Structure 1
Amino acid sequence: MPRIPAQGPPPRRSAVPAGAGPGQYAPTQKPEPIPVGDRSRDHRSPRSDRRVDHGRSSTRPPAPPAGTPPAPTPPRRRRRRSVRVGKIVLILLLVFVLGSIGLLFYYDSRLDRIDALPAYAGRPSDTPGTNWLIVGTDNRSDLSDAQRTNLSTGDADGSRTDTIMLVHNPPGTGKATVVSIPRDLFVEIPGHGSLKVNASYNIGGPALLVQTVENLTGIHIDHYAEIGFGGFDTLVDAVGGVDMCIDQPLNDPLAGLRLSKGCHHLNGRQALGLVRTRAFPRADLERVINQRKFLAALVSRATSPAVLLNPFRLFGFIGGAIDSLTVDERDHIRNLASLMFALRDPVTTTTPTGESVYTDDGLALPVTETTEEFFGRLRAGQPIPDELLVDAG
C-alpha cells in the first residue's frame, strides 16, 4: 500500500493588493483594533439611543432653549402670504379704478350743455393752443326769493354778462394767459351793428357772444363755460372759502358787501359780492381785476391738498361745479380738469383799449391799434410784451 504523506496546514500567502506584480512588495493589511470606549456602541441596536416619551413620537425634535429666535417662515408659506396680499391689493386697486370711472361718467352726464360754439361763414380756423371763453352771468331764474334776498342779487329779469374772460393755454410748456374783456368794450356785433360787447349775450345768448369775441380777436374758441348766480356761493363754500386781499375798503349795499382793506377769508356770499361790485373809481376796469383774483384764489384752493385729500370737500366742490356750470355740448369733465390745472399760475391782463368815449350805446371803451396788436400776438401764439399787458398779475 502506498504511503500517503501527512498534510499539514496550507502555506501562508501574503496579501497582494490589486495591481501589484510578482516580486513587488505589498504590506500586510490587518484590521484596526476597536477602541474599548466604542465597543459597546457597536453592539447596540440602532434604535436603542432613542428616548421613548410615553407615546409621543420618538422623532420629535427637542424644544429650543429659552431666548432662541423663532425659526424662519418656510419659503412656501411666505410665497402663499405674498400672493394673498397681492390679490387683496389688486382687488382694492380695481375697485378704486372702476369706481373713479363710474363717478367720472356720472358727473359728466350731469353737466348742463348747450350749443355755444356755432358754425358760421368766416369763422376763424383753428389757432395754436387751447382757447376757452369763460362767462359769468347775472341769471337769477334758478334762485328762490330767499336766495335773492340773502345774496343781494336784485330782481332783474333776463340774463346779462358782466364777466367775459378769454383763457389762452399755449402749446408746449408756456403759462396760460387770462384776458379780461371789459363789458363796455365797443365792438361790432354780427347783424346788430356796433354795441357794447356784453349786449351780444343779451341779444343772442352764448352763440352770438362767442361769434362776437371770435370776430374781435381772430382767435378760434375751443371750449365754453358759463356760471350764473345760482350755485356760486355753494361752490365757494364747498371748498371752505377763499383767501383774497383787497387794496381798499369796500362798502357796496347793492352787492351786499362790506369789507375792510387787507386780506380776508371770504365765504360764498362775500365772494359773489366782490366779483359783482363796481364801487370803484375805475368801475368795471377795477372789477375785472378782482374777478381774476377770485378765479386764481378759487383754483388755488380747489387744487390744494386741503381739498384734494378731503373727500367731503372734493366731491362737494365737484358737485357744486357741475350744478353751477353750463358748457358747450362737446365739452366734458376732462376738459374742465385741464382748464383748472392750467389756471394755477397764469399771466393775467385786461384787454388794452382806448380812453372812454361817448357812443350811441352810452359811455364805452373803443378798440384801438393796440387792441388789435395784442390779440394778433395772442392769436399767433407769440409772447405778449410787457407794454401790452394792462393791470397784469
Structure 2
Amino acid sequence: MAVLIVVVLVAGYGAFVYFWAGGRLRTTEAFSGDGRAKAGKGTDWLLIGSDSRSDLTAEQRRKLHVGGGQGLNTDTLMIVHYGDSGPYLVSIPRDSYVEIPGHGHNKINAAYALGGAKLLTRTVEQATGLRLDHYAEVDFLGFVDVVDALGGVRICVPKGGLHDKHSGADFAAGCRQMDGVQALAYVRARYTDPQGDLGRVKRQRQLVSAVADKAFSAPVVLNPWKQIPFLRTSLDALTVDKGTGTGTLVGLGREMKKLSDGDGATTTVPIAAEPQISGVGDVVEWDTSKADDLFGALREDTPIPTSGTN
C-alpha cells in the first residue's frame, strides 16, 4: 500500500511550491548510527506502508476491511535504487524470514513493531548489505486519500479476476478505474491469490506504475487545481527521514516516472522456499545466492540479474 509515496511532488517545481512543500514535510529519525552497512554507489530508498489502524474510526475500518487490531507492522516494503544503472524497484515480501537485530529471527515486517523505523532500516540493511540513503512511509488512510486526490487510477485486473473477502477485493478481469478504497483492497488481497504474498507484491508494483502515469499526466501537472490538492494530500500522508527534502522527493518521483515508462526493471527478492516455522507461521526464505547477486548489483550500481525480473 505504500506505493503512493514514490510519486509525491511529481510536479513540485517553482519556488512557491518548492518551499511550501518543504514546510509540510513530516520527518522521523529513521536510521541508527551504529553498525550500518557500508555505503555503496547510487541512491537507495526504503519505501514502506504501515498497517496502522489506531487512528481509524470503526466506520473507516469497516470500509477499508482492515479489522480492529492495534498491532503495527509493515504491510509493504520496497527498495528503490537509481544511479548510473536503474531505476530498479525491488519488493521485499513482508513474510521474509530474517534476523532482526536483538530479537532473533522473525518475519521482516515485525521489525517496525519491535523498534520502529530505526530497527526496520537496520534489519533491511543487515539482510541486504545495502546502506539506505532515504526512507519514506505512509499508512492505510494516507494511501486511500492520495489515490482519491488523483481522481483514482486505471488498473487492469488479470484473467480470472480477483476476489478476496478479507481485503474487500471483488474485481472481474479487465481494465477499470479504481478509487482509493478499491486500490487498497486490490493491493492487500492475498488469501485467494495462488501466489499469496508474492502475487500481492506484483500488484503493488503495478499500482506504482498506474499512480506514476496519472501523477505525471498533463491533466494533473498542468492544472494547479488538481496539482496542489494532490501534493498537499501526498505530503500529509508522508513521513520521511530527516535527510530528505523537497528536491530529493522530486528526484525520486522522476525516477519512478522512468519506471512507469518502461526504463529500468522491477522484481522481487529471489525466493527459495515458503516453509512454516513453529511460533512464527508461514514464512518466505530467500534464495541466498541469487539474493546476494541482486543486492550486490544494487550496491555496485550495475545492471541487476535479468532472470525473474517482472
What TM-score, normalized by structure 2, do the two folds share?
Answer: 0.89
Residue 261 of structure 1 pairs with residue 179 of structure 2: no
Alignment RMSD: 1.6
Mean alpha-carbon deviation: is it higher for 375-384 or for 216-225?
375-384
The one-letter amino acid paired with 1:366 is: E
Pick closer, same or farther for the CA change 1:373–1:175 going to 2, 3 Å.
Answer: closer
Residue 306 of structure 1 pairs with residue 306 of structure 2: no
Q: Quick one: which of 188, 194, 217 aligns to 1:276?
A: 188
Give SS of 1:208's match: helix
Q: Which residue of 1 aligns with 2:163?
A: 251
Q: Which residue of 1 aligns with 2:41?
A: 128
Q: Quick one: which of 371, 382, 388 aligns to 2:291?
A: 371
Which digits, 9 at most, give the CA deviation of each residue in 1:88-137, with x for residues without a partner? xxxxxxxxxxx94233223212222110122113x122211110000011
Which digits, 9 at most, give the CA deviation of each residue in 1:261-283, with x for residues without a partner? 11111111100111111130111
Q: Quick one: which of 66, 69, 74 aligns to 1:156?
A: 69
Report 1:128-147 matches (<5 A).
128-147=41-60
Contact 1:217 1:379 survives alignment (8 Å): no
The one-letter amino acid paired with 2:233 is: G
- Percent of aligned pairs sharing the same letter: 39
Task: State the alpha-carbon separation in 2 of the partners of residues 349 and 219 from structure 1.
Answer: 16
Give SS of 2:198's match: helix
Task: State the alpha-carbon separation in 2 of the partners of residues 238 and 312 from structure 1.
Answer: 11
Which digits, 9 at most, give the CA deviation of each residue in 1:322-343, with x for residues without a partner? 1111111121121111111101
Q: Which residue of 2 aligns with 1:239?
A: 150
Contact 1:134 1:165 survives alignment (8 Å): yes
Report 1:325-336 matches (<5 A).
325-336=238-249
Which digits, 9 at most, give the CA deviation of each residue in 1:338-365, with x for residues without a partner? 1111011321000002121232422222
Contact 2:73 2:111 survives alignment (8 Å): no
Contact 2:293 2:305 survives alignment (8 Å): no
Q: Which residue of 1 aligns with 2:199?
A: 286
Unpaired runs of at least 5, structure 1: 1-98
Give SS of 1:255's match: coil
Q: Which has the higher strand share?
A: 2
Unpaired runs of at least 5, structure 2: 1-12, 260-264
Pick closer, same or farther for the CA change 1:332–1:237 going to 2, 3 Å.
Answer: same
The one-letter amino acid paired with 2:41 is: P
Higher relative contact order (CA 8 A, sep 6+): 2
Contact 1:175 1:345 survives alignment (8 Å): no
Task: State the alpha-carbon separation in 2 of the partners of residues 308 and 192 from structure 1.
Answer: 46
The one-letter amino acid paired with 2:300 is: A
Give SS of 2:140's match: coil
Q: Which has the larger radius of gyration?
A: 1
Give SS of 1:385's match: coil
Q: Which residue of 1 aligns with 2:103?
A: 192
Q: Quick one: which of 296, 301, 305 aligns to 1:385?
A: 305
Contact 2:74 2:112 survives alignment (8 Å): yes
Residue 357 of structure 1 pairs with residue 298 of structure 2: no
Contact 2:135 2:240 survives alignment (8 Å): yes
Mean alpha-carbon deviation: is it higher for 261-270 or for 284-293?
261-270
What TM-score, normalized by structure 1, do the two folds share?
Answer: 0.71
Task: State the alpha-carbon separation in 1 of the partners of residues 42 and 48 from structure 2.
Answer: 20
Shift of 1:386: 1.8
Q: Which residue of 2 aligns with 1:111?
A: 25
The one-letter amino acid paired with 1:115 is: E
Shift of 1:159: 1.2
Q: Quick one: which of 192, 198, 201 aligns to 2:112?
A: 201
Give SS of 2:52's match: coil
Task: State the alpha-carbon separation in 2 of the partners of residues 332 and 375 from structure 1.
Answer: 26
Which digits, 9 at most, give the CA deviation of each residue in 1:140-188, with x for residues without a partner? 12322322222222111131112000001123xx430000001111111
Task: State the alpha-carbon separation in 2 of the partners of residues 116 and 385 from structure 1.
Answer: 29
Task: State the alpha-carbon separation in 2 of the partners of residues 241 and 381 from structure 1.
Answer: 34
Task: State the alpha-carbon separation in 2 of the partners of residues 336 and 287 from structure 1.
Answer: 25
Contact 1:134 1:167 survives alignment (8 Å): yes
